[in-house]
Amino acid sequence: MKDMAIFTGAGVAIATPFDENYKVDYDSFGKFIDFQVENGTDAIIVCGTTGEASTLNHPEHINVIKYCVDRVNKRIPVIAGTGSNDTHTAVYLTTAAEEAGADGALIVTPYYNKATQKGLIEHFSHIAGKTDLPIILYNIPGRTGCKLESKTIARLFKEVDNIVAVKEATGDIAFATQIMYDTQGDIDIYSGNDDMIVPMLSIGGKGVISVLSNIAPKATHDICAEFFAGNVEKSRELQLYYFELIKALFCEVNPIPVKKAIELMGFFGPHLRRPLTEMEPETTERLKKAMIDTGILK
């Protein structure tokens, strides 16, 4: 299973559209999925942080995964976010995603109750043992309060056949380098931060799981593709060109800004489920300016 990456390049951490009644807007979702595929996105990561998975109930969560898999129809890989702070629930969602036809699972570290490193090994090993899907570990301690240490990642990668990758979102390139060192460069590592795509690729990364891709799918794909083609200077130029936009997309809690950006592009409204609220006027202006400056908005 570890012979081939689930995907290489830019995978979009896709937003979940809600209508004015805060129900999943599947019509808008389908059109947005097609926009992503048609504009070079290399994979779709559904029901992640940006997809507001934390406010989807279980039937919604599974239905959104299934709808995405069916709409993509094998054009590109679909990776389902199926993590939970309850191991049993993570198993339930992961096996449901497998049944729905997902190509992989993105599983976040347990949040709130957290875990020791021993507990994390047991948590991920148990989930992996219940599915044949390749698994991407999701390390984002800033949101979960729980960090997978590098040696823990290396042990899981070595001992569990279908744990194949890590989404590294600590924002610490030295830590990411340590992961690569501890796994002899064999693990598939994806940047979890849009402002660190090129640095992550430079240490052997396979790509990015991206918020930016929601509104700039071709550009995000190109940052990776140019690097892999040996055009490192072009890749670096693109990274810097979109840097202010990336910062604007995180000037409030994700996915508040990206949903506003998607609305400004005319795809679907900015509706977010509480406790998230719509973007403030001053930060909206900052976002709008960055979108105009990069040619996304006219």
Q: How far apart, in whole angstroms, are the C-alpha atoms of residue 77 and residue 70?
A: 11
Q: Is 138 a catalytic residue?
A: yes
The residues near 195 (Cβ < 8 Å, ≥ 6 apart) are 239, 243, 246, 247
Amino acid at 43: A
CB 294 within 8 A of CB 245: yes
User: Catalytic one among 167, 206, 259, 260?
Assistant: 167
User: Catalytic one among 92, 138, 190, 242?
Assistant: 138
Q: Which two structure tokens, joined as six digits, stand for 81?
A: 């976010």
In whole angstroms, what separates CA 79 from the centre of its chain?
9
Q: What one-character DSSP code corresponds to residue 274?
A: T
Q: Is 167 a catalytic residue?
A: yes
Answer left, alpha or beta for residue 146, where phi above 0 means left and psi between -120 and 50 means alpha: beta
Catalytically annotated residues? 138, 167
